[in-house]
Amino acid sequence: MTTRAIEALASRPHASALRIRPLDAGDRLQVAAMFGRLSPESLYQRFHSAGVRVADAILDQVLAGHVLLAELDGGLVGLASYHAMPELARAELAVVVEDGHQRRGVGKALCAALSNDARRAGIRHLWAELLRTNQGMLRLLHSLELPMRQSATFDVLQVTLDLQPA
């Protein structure tokens, strides 16, 4: 993320109250509660499946890897994670923001912090699979101002962000 993009993000009205932090051992119940507050559309966009219920097995997968949380006014409003494949210097990226806080800079702040953490860990590429209908996530990834490649299948886009150009 460029300095200009970080400054624009910091100028948002809620930016001073937004806190990005690593997952703690005691956060599981808060994360489960946040997923419980998501609309069916947000769950569909995140998990690519209608009617998904975030049971313990799914929560285990969500909380595996490197996880950052976004808190606003003391409440959990977003989560971003990557699952590293160190032998390939790649990691899979996943992001979710509570419905009422989408398109307000929370996802961008999470992705910027996660990208920086990944870069420091030696990850060269973050990739994400998103539904073609998830234009909000695609705009978010473009807003990071990182070199990006896309490929598509029938209804899924695979997007790769270059953290450290070769």
Domain map (residue ranges) of the chain? 3-162
pLDDT, residue 66, reads 96
Q: What tens digit of pLDDT does each residue of 28-80 get?
A: 999 999 988 988 888 877 876 666 677 778 888 889 999 999 999 989 999 99
Residue 96 pLDDT > 70 = yes
Q: What's at 23, amino acid-wise?
A: L
pLDDT, residue 163, reads 94
Residue 10 pLDDT > 60 = no
Is the model's pTM score more than 0.85? no
Closest of 33, 38, 44, 46 to residue 80, by C-alpha: 46
Query: Confidence class of residue 151 from pLDDT cuts 50, 70 and 90?
Result: very high
CATH level 2 (architecture), domain 3-162: 3-Layer(aba) Sandwich (3.40)
pLDDT, residue 11, reads 42
Q: Which run of H or E residues covers position 128?
A: strand 125-131
Instruction: Report the C-alpha gap between 157 and 127 in whole angstroms.
Output: 10
Average pLDDT of span 136-141: 89
Instruction: Report the C-alpha gap between 17 and 3 in whole angstroms.
Output: 20
What mean pLDDT, rounded, does the chain reach?
85
